């Protein structure tokens, strides 16, 4: 009963509407601009550039700017690498199967590398979930727009989110000190923990991507990177119980989020209305992502899939199917990776006792 209570309990709010509004505006303005310009093919670059605003949500203005700048530059690097990977794949004329496996390998390596970078800079949210999603999603786009256009949109969106991050300094009542964060000093144990965490992301993402690709080839579904994203969700947390709970919440929340998405799709929205829904979902996700992860998935799931449909139209039924299957595969892998060290230690203790 205690586990169930923890699964569905919600923490008290802490001015969550402030970062939620910032993130919603950071998504809405660039996307509605692209709608008005008739360039929805560039929407995915704006969507991932807007992830800059997610970082440093509760920090003072100076610290928030420094953290968001680091996060934004890292995301821009990921977007650039993803675009180059897609262009190279097209130039080399690789077949679909080879491209898929190379993408899994590249995304796996990026998962580990970005996890190390995020931990080294002590960015929050922790982990490389957003970077996995951005790299694999952009690299998977069949018809890439010109590189300079995609990067320009990503850079402008990142800069806009940085401006939003310290815009409240215009109000004396919301102004906080503009001080640079102190240089980080890490102990030997902390440095070791950073590399161990990166290894966990490498294993979880790689294993989930491999299993999802095999299953997809056998059963006929795609979007294997959704499994890789779901696999790293349980890796964030201070205790094993908390990490396992996040994995289970991811599955339950995704199922419920797909119900919400089905209702949205039945409305037959215009592009500008779709962008408005995305902004509202971003607001809802930031309102609850820290307080109740399961509830946040009711907003995260429609946000992810609606943004996918906005750029690459596809059958909604296929997307719904792929999302739940990939999420179950990924979350199960992530939970297994979290439990593996504990089970290994217990097995060794039993062996010594015998």
Report the alpha-carbon distance of residue 23 to residue 125 in Å, rounded: 14
Domain boundaries, the chain: 14-180+191-353
**pTM recorded for the entire structure:** 0.93
Q: What is the pLDDT of residue 1?
A: 58
Q: What is the per-residue pLDDT for 6?
A: 66
What is the model's pLDDT at position 172?
Answer: 65
Residue 306: CB atoms within 10 A of its CB come to 20
Q: Report which of 1, 5, 7, 2 is spatially closest to residue 245, judged by C-alpha positions.
A: 7
Identify the pLDDT of residue 254. Answer: 94
d(CA 6, CA 107): 33
The vertex-121 CA angle with 21 and 281, nearest 5°, equals 25
Q: Are 51 and 73 in contact (CB under 8 A)?
A: no
**pLDDT, tens digit only, all 354 positions of the chain:** 566 666 777 878 778 889 999 999 999 999 999 999 999 999 999 999 999 999 998 888 888 999 999 999 999 999 999 999 998 877 777 766 788 899 999 999 999 999 999 999 889 899 999 999 999 999 998 888 999 999 999 999 999 999 999 887 777 667 777 777 777 777 888 888 899 999 999 999 999 999 999 998 888 888 899 999 999 999 987 788 889 999 999 999 999 999 999 999 889 889 999 999 999 999 999 999 988 999 999 999 999 988 888 877 778 888 888 999 999 999 999 999 999 988 887 777 776 665
Can you give the pLDDT at residue 182? 73
């Amino acid at each position: 009963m205690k586990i169930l209570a923890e699964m569905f309990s919600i923490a008290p709010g802490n001015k969550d509407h402030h970062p939620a509004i910032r993130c919603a505006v950071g998504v809405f303005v660039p996307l509605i601009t692209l709608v008005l310009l008739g360039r929805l093919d560039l929407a995915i670059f704006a969507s991932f550039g807007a992830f800059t605003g997610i970082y440093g949500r509760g920090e003072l203005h100076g610290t928030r700017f420094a953290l968001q700048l680091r996060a934004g530059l890292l995301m821009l690097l990921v977007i650039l690498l993803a675009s180059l990977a897609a262009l190279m794949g097209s130039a080399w004329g690789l077949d679909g199967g080879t491209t898929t496996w190379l993408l899994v390998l590249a995304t796996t390596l990026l998962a580990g590398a970005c996890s190390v970078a995020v931990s080294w800079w002590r960015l929050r949210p922790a982990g490389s979930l957003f970077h996995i999603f951005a790299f694999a999603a952009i690299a998977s786009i069949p018809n890439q727009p010109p590189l300079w256009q995609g990067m320009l949109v990503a850079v402008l969106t990142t800069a806009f989110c940085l401006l939003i991050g310290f815009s409240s300094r215009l109000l004396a009542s919301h102004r906080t000190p503009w001080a640079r964060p102190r240089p980080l000093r890490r102990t030997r144990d902390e440095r070791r923990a950073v590399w161990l965490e990166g290894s966990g992301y490498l294993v979880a993402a790689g294993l989930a991507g491999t299993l999802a690709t095999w299953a997809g080839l056998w059963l006929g579904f795609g979007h294997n990177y959704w499994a890789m994203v779901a696999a790293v969700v349980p890796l964030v947390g201070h205790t094993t119980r908390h990490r396992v709970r996040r994995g289970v919440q991811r599955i339950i929340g995704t199922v419920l989020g797909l119900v919400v998405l089905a209702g949205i799709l039945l409305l037959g929205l215009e592009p500008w209305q779709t962008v408005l829904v995305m902004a509202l979902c971003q607001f809802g996700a930031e309102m609850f992502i820290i307080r109740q992860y399961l509830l946040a998935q009711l907003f995260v799931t429609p946000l992810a899939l609606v943004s996918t449909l906005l750029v690459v139209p596809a059958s909604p039924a296929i997307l719904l199917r792929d999302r739940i299957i990939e999420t179950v595969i990924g979350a199960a892998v992530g939970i297994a990776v979290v439990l593996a060290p504990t089970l290994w230690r217990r097995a060794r203790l039993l062996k010594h006792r015998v």
